[in-house]
Each structure stands twice: as C-alpha cells, then as structure tokens.
Structure 1
Amino acid sequence: MLKIGLTGGIGSGKSQVATLLEEWGATVVDTDLVAHQLCQTEGLAIAAIAEQFGPEFITAEHGMDRQRMREHVFANPAERQRLEALLHPLIGEEARRQVMAASGLYVVVVVPLLIERGSWRNRVDRICVVDCDEATQKQRVRERSGLTDEVIERIMGAQATREQRLAVADDVIVNDGTTSLHELSRQAEQLHQQWLQQR
C-alpha cells in the first residue's frame, strides 16, 4: 500500500490536510495522536516517564502533565532528547502497527518531525510538506493555543527549517496566510488523485 509521509511545521495545517485526505478514503495515522494516547491516563509511557522524570510530571489522573513537561523540555534541550528517546520508539512501534492494519486507499502518516527523525524517511514512499511562512505559523499557534511568542519560537527552533523540509519534499501543499480553505482543498485533491494513480 502506498505510504505518504505528511509533515510541516507547527501551525502549518497538517491536520486540516489529513482530515481532507481521510474524508476521501485514505487511512490516516497521526503520530501526535499516538503520542497523546501513550501519555494520557494509564498510557503505555506513563510508568517510564514517572521513573525517568519523577512523579511531579504525572497528574493526579495518572497522565503526563503536558504543560509542565513542555516547559521543562524546551528549557532543557538535553531533557527534550531524553523524553524523545523514551517516546519515539513507542510511537514508532504503534504507528507501524496502525500502518500494517490500514485498509484505506493509501496510508497518510502524519509526522511533525519526519525530517528531523531520519528513520521515518525510509518508512514512507513519498514525503508531502504542508508549507507555510513563519509569521502565519506563529499567528495560528497563538490563536489556537495561547502560547507565548517565546514558547512558539522555541518549538519552531526545535523543528527543521522551512528550507530543510522543502529540500526533501516530493509533494508540496502551500497553506500560508493567503490560502483559502477552497484552495487548500483543491491542492490536496490534486495530490490525492495523483497518489491514487501510484497505488
């Protein structure tokens, strides 16, 4: 089955594109959603997080305290690497399981850090980048999550640059500040039709 790796910076609109493709018959495996499930109440990663980072990072409901962990790892790059080393193998294993079980027209694997984590490039047939200018990214994230500019810039600084993503893209969907929902849908449908021919 054809496997598309869908990526883009924070606030680029990956989820919006993935939702459209799913409506048209693709199976979507979202690694952010997998990570969220691993870190929610009684998730598979909770015991290891408590052991490695301490009980203060676990909520009363036995899930990961996401805000505390976010502040901790973005202030300490070494700690971010430690958390990623713990989570990424679990995320990769569960995502692989979901890809193997997929029954759609093709599989879209949404991986925010696809470029940064080289192992993902070998697991997909094509890389599709949702491209967006940085000013629009920041504005969308501010409006969506209420994060400060400082936190948003730290998150963006930990991701690949726009140029690095575009350099490895097989396909590009432009979703900047001037892109309408109709235009986004048109671009996504054009690629959807191309991918159907490549199955």
Structure 2
Amino acid sequence: MSARPPALVVALTGGVAAGKSAVTRRFEALGVPVHDADVAAREVIAPGSEGLAEVVAAFGPEVLDDRGQLDRPSMRRRVFADPAARRRLEAIIHPRVRAWLRERALADSTPYCLLAIPLLAENIAQYRWVDRVLVVDVPESVQLDRLIARDGVDETLARRMIEQQASRADRLALADDVIDNSGDESALDQAVAELHQRYLALT
C-alpha cells in the first residue's frame, strides 16, 4: 500500500441530504471518474466475496436472504440496536472499502479523480493519503427539510440521522474546498465548473 495515486485525489463528503450525488453527477458529466464508498460497501460483501464470508462467520448464516445476499434491512435493525455488533460489522467492511477506493484511485490515469465518502470526517485518520477534501455544505435546517421530503421520515428520526454523523463544523474544519448547496440545484453547475478548472490547474 505504499504506492501513491498518480493523479490528484479529491475526497468529497457532506452530511446526509446535503446534495453529494447532485455534485458528483456534474463532475462525472465533465469526464471525472467518481468512486463511491456506498458502491464499494455493496461490492466488498457481494455474494461469493471474502467480505460476505467473514460477515457470515461473525453473525451466523441467518444474516443471508434466500438469494445468498446480505439481508440488509435485518442487518441494519440488528446493528442499530447493538453498538458492539455495529463495530464488528464496520471492522469487516470499512478496511475493504478503503482498499477498494484506493485501488481505483491508483488505477486512474485522468488528471484527477473524486472519492465520494459520506463518513469521511468520522474516518479521516484512514484517509490521510487523499490530496484535497471537498465538502458539500448546507445548514442543518436545510438538511432536515430535505431529509423529511426525500425519505418521508418524521422530524425526530431525521434529527437522529443527522446527529449520528459528524457535525457540520467537523466537516468544514477538514475542507480545502466548499460547495454551498443551500440554494437552487442549478447553481451547482457553475460551482462545479470552477472547481474542475482549479483541480486541473493543480495537477
């Protein structure tokens, strides 16, 4: 793991419902490779993978559905109720996600790539190898409104989801670059275009 990614590696993060996907879609439209931690988290425990075998060894065969895949809703309920189980599951998945992201960043031959990592602030010690951090930022009140509208949850659950993540201040403290996404989504076009030029200049 001593190899250094040849391109500029930008880690993109933001709170739940901040609009990270809207931003990554615009970078992808400009031809920038985006490697997503959420995609990685599914792939590293796909059927037949070492990761899934380790989850089954840790939690028992009842964690699988009838197609041999991880029964995600059941697992989510289990780890939500049991912090020790959550830590055990994360110890299996997180190192594999980091390796997956790094492997893809190393393989890129473009001037720069993006890593979309929702829980970057919570795990920043493991991502010291990235070159820059880009935070998609919105006030918590906007997060709350969007989360209720997007997921159809009540305000209590929406607040709990926000509180389970790193604080807005913690994320902003890591930021080299910030995109304010509290306004209309169309404003993202210019913000992304400007950052794209900045990152190309840095490479």
> Same-fold call, TM > 0.5?
yes
1:122 Cα deviation from its structure 2 partner: 1.0
CA contact (8 A) 1:58 1:65 kept: yes
Alignment partner, residue 10 of structure 1: 16
1:120 Cα deviation from its structure 2 partner: 4.0
- Secondary structure at the aligned position of 2:128 is classed as helix
Report whether the alignment pairs 1:171 with 2:177.
yes
1:119 Cα deviation from its structure 2 partner: 3.0
Alignment partner, residue 65 of structure 2: 59
| Aligned amino acid, residue 115 of structure 2 | V
CA contact (8 A) 1:59 1:65 kept: yes
Once the two structures are superposed, residues 78-137 of structure 1 have per-residue CA deviations (whole angstroms, 9 ceiling, x without a partner) of: 222211111011111111111111133311011111111123441211100001222332
Q: 1:130 aligns with which of 136, 139, 145?
A: 136
1:173 Cα deviation from its structure 2 partner: 0.5
Report whether the alignment pairs 1:22 with 2:28.
yes
| Aligned amino acid, residue 190 of structure 2 | R
Alignment partner, residue 195 of structure 1: 199
Identity %: 37
- Distance (Å, rounded) in 2 between the aligned partners of 1:149 and 1:35: 28
- Cα 1:144–1:131, aligned 2, differ >3 Å: closer, same or farther? same
Q: 2:163 aligns with which of 157, 161, 169?
A: 157
Alignment partner, residue 3 of structure 2: none
* Pairs within 5 Å for 1:33-182: 33-176=39-182, 179-182=183-186
CA contact (8 A) 1:10 1:137 kept: yes
1:38 Cα deviation from its structure 2 partner: 2.3
Once the two structures are superposed, residues 19-43 of structure 1 have per-residue CA deviations (whole angstroms, 9 ceiling, x without a partner) of: 1111112111111111022234444
Query: What's the C-alpha RMSD, in Å, of the aligned pairs?
Result: 1.9
1:147 Cα deviation from its structure 2 partner: 4.5
| Aligned amino acid, residue 178 of structure 2 | V
Q: TM-score, normalised by structure 1?
A: 0.89
Once the two structures are superposed, residues 126-179 of structure 1 have per-residue CA deviations (whole angstroms, 9 ceiling, x without a partner) of: 100001222332333333334454544443233110011011111001112xx1
- Secondary structure at the aligned position of 2:65 is classed as coil
Moved over 4 A (4+): 147-151
Once the two structures are superposed, residues 44-83 of structure 1 have per-residue CA deviations (whole angstroms, 9 ceiling, x without a partner) of: 4221111212222211111112112222222222222211
Aligned length: 197
- Secondary structure at the aligned position of 2:118 is classed as coil
- Secondary structure at the aligned position of 2:76 is classed as helix
CA contact (8 A) 1:14 1:130 kept: yes
